[in-house]
Amino acid sequence: MIKNLVIVESPAKAKTIEKFLGSDYKVMSSYGHIRDLKKKNFSIDIDHNFAPIYEIPSDKSQLVAELKKAASQAEIVWLASDEDREGEAIAWHLFEVLKLDPARTRRIVFHEITKNAILNAIEHPRDIDTNLVDAQQARRVLDRIVGFELSPVLWKKIKPALSAGRVQSVAVRLIVERENEIKNFVPEQYVRLTADFIAGDRTLRTEFSHRLPDLDVAEQFLRQCAVSHFSVGDIAVKPLKKSPAPPFTTSTLQQEAARKLGFTVSQTMMIAQKLYEAGHITYMRTDSVNLSSLAINTISREISDNIGAEYLNVRHYHTSSKGAQEAHEAIRPTYIDRHSIEGTSQEKRLYALIWKRTIASQMADALIEKTTIDIDRADASDAQSSIAPIVDGRFVATGEVVKFDGFLKVYLEGRDDEETDTEQSSLPAVKPGEVLDLGNMTAAQRFTSQPLRYTEASLVKKMEELGIGRPSTYAPTISTIQQREYVERGDRPGAKRDVAVLSLRKGKISRRTVSETYGAEKGKLIPTDIGVVVNDFLTQYFPDILDYNFTARIEQKFDDIAEGKLPWNSEIANFYKVFHPVVDNAMSMRLEHKVGERLLGTDPVSGKPVSVKIGRYGPLVQVGEGDKDEKPRFASLLKGQSVQTITLEDALKLFDFPRLIGEYDGEDVTVAIGRFGPYIKHAGAFTSIPKNIAPEEITIDQAIELINEKRSEAQRRVIRTFDDDPDIQILNGRYGIYIAYKKSNYKIPKTVADPAALSLEECRQIIAAQDAAPKKPARRVARKK
């Protein structure tokens, strides 16, 4: 008989909790949800109030049986899944599927996995919050309706296997619209004016307070300055305060980990989940910046004892983000006196970031003294000359000196604007009226910058600002749009341009031209051709689904359902009443051209039209119209080419493939372009051409080298084969030696000293043993909604 059975959703969490509870408690894991909507069916009963139709996946059957058995033997079952909507739904599904007795069931929640938190939760159990469950069901059902009804429209009108989602499609729209802004951006010229003045043996670096419109005006101004006197004008000294950023929410942690650590959004959440489950930090899905009074007290003690009492400034933060959910705490260390932890390098770095941010949030402001020095200019012949200046403005020097570092001693928040700070940290001591000598004055041609593409972190920030998605959905959404190949994370090399620079030195003006790179970006989210075409189609025919305000209103309705203000079924019914007829209309409409198709011109050889479009396997060029008499010709686009920008000339070059480039071992070597990119065909074998080699320029020597590399790799991979059973192979893979049999892989036990010496019979025994073993459910680290 089990006295107490505690069920959590992850084995790592179970392992940590087990350490805090005595022998009277058994802790088991549900490995996430034990049931969900059927994968391949609509699974929503529209005629019965949109009731979801759930199933227990086959890989969870044995686990459910084990949980049922343990629950039937327990005096009390404690449902200890996470305290958010998804966790509440997991607890509810466990209660329903395991047919638990309400009198012997307790729901407990905690936002950190510490002994005190667990014991306190056991002392204060509560009922399952059906409002939170309803909110989760509403999101799940609505997303299933949108995905199941909208995706077939894309299959029919664009290409098979596409998908649409309520939040993912809006995220793609943000990225596509930013790309359109960049394409339509027209840079405006201006001139930036800087000057170095000599004050004794020191240099005073200044910048002109206004931009100049062009180089002609700049040159006239420099000529005036060549015969001018300069002196120190007003000196203003102002005290400034810089305050620390609040503790981390999910969104700000994702953004800061990207800026400071280079982590992707999903990577941050995966590492944060491990830290949480190991008991190192509080719950990592939160939009609250609040800290408990206990946490504030321990942080205050840490600052006073180890940094200094003068650095302490207790602060109480309040959440202001749109639609903030349940009243969690901010993300913080569970034990503030642990400055570091044991773990992987990534876990240590993320923990250190959370620790510093948490400590800094309760520290004093940084006190800064900002000095602004204006430079007066007068004509050399007459200080009171009535000659009108060419431009308004004056040279200004600014500098900052930190008088008290405060929270800066520990932490400074990162920035997304990618601009450098041009201020001097300190300025030379000067007095009003002091005469200055002009050292060098520069007028540099500049151009306004195009909008920046989104990073994963800045996209999260934008989604949060618009009220799209919630802490639990940011990472899955951004991962999904990349997995669906609507968006890719990549670099843009930028382009070169010449800019003119005028310099005034010792009364003489010189001119030079320098080359600069502009528009270069790294690690940015860039829409693919398919992403652009899908977005344009959905925006035109389903404007409400792609509307930012509509999506935000839906999120607000979920919040209202979670608070018990709205019945979830009626909200789904209201949505479906409007949405379903629009889907039916889109399915039945006839389009003159395939969605995304663009006519490039006419093939000069055949006289047939040449167009570019999205095909079954991606973007392609088509020559001909596909009439009954003659089939059209097709060619896939190369990496870096786009449906939006490819020219007729470049499109026709694609039909130069396949091309024969020579012979090797008595067999032809040809280069072709296929579904997965360019490749070499030789002796019935295929070898991919790497990205750094252009398929139209590859030589026979390069091709032979690639062919031989692949042959050598294949030989190293195959360790042993068996003539009596060719389906069984012992192979060397990325993670070590394993057995391959009929498209399945089998791990070789550690007790086998020499895997290469395994006999055929021993291989069969290993295969049979692993086939007979119960399948463990895959651990779910990041939940997808």
User: Among all residues, which ones are annotated catalytic?
Assistant: 283
Q: Which of 648, 643, 670, 647 is nearest to 659 (CA)?
A: 670
CA–CA dist 27, 2 (Å, integer) = 11
Query: For residue 655, what is the DSSP state?
Result: G
CA–CA dist 232, 397 (Å, integer) = 10
Say if CB 198 and CB 506 are below 8 A apart.
no
Kindly report the backbone phi and psi dihedral angles of residue 244, in degrees, each rounded to the nearest multiple of 5, phi listed first: -70, 160
Query: In sequence order, what are the residues at sequence separation of 6 or more whose Cβ sits closer than 8 angstroms to the Cβ of residue 316?
Result: 290, 291, 296
Q: Which two tokens stand for residue 428?
A: 């030379």
Number of residues that make up the chain: 785
Q: What is the DSSP string of 537-565?
A: HHHHH-TTTT-HHHHHHHHHHHHHHHTTS
Q: Is the dihedral of CA 544, 545, 549, 551 positive or negative?
A: positive
Residue the block writes with tokens 């899908």: 534
Query: For residue 322, what is the DSSP state?
Result: T
CA–CA dist 215, 220 (Å, integer) = 9
Which of 170-205 are b and which e, b meaning 16 or more Cβ less than 10 Å from the residue's Cβ? bbbbbbbebbbebeeeeeeebbebebbbebeeeebb
CA–CA dist 340, 346 (Å, integer) = 12
CA–CA dist 313, 142 (Å, integer) = 46
Say if CB 100 and CB 111 are below 8 A apart.
no
The secondary structure element, H or E, covering residue 569 is helix 568-588
Residue the block writes with tokens 């399948």: 775
CA–CA dist 90, 181 (Å, integer) = 43
Q: Which two tokens stand for residue 119?
A: 């014991």
Q: Which two tokens stand for residue 317?
A: 């933060």
Say if CB 657 and CB 621 are below 8 A apart.
no
Phi-psi region at 627: left, alpha or beta (left = phi > 0; alpha = psi -120 to 50)? beta
Give the full edge-to-edge strand order of the sheet including 744-747: 718-721, 728-733, 736-741, 744-747
CA–CA dist 545, 150 (Å, integer) = 10
Contacts 24+ apart (CB under 8 A), 775-779: 775/59, 775/62, 776/31, 777/31, 777/32, 777/59, 777/60, 777/63, 778/31, 778/59, 779/10, 779/11, 779/12, 779/31, 779/32
CA angle in degrees (0–180, nearest 5) for 501-503-506 = 170
CA–CA dist 54, 36 (Å, integer) = 5
CA–CA dist 390, 387 (Å, integer) = 9
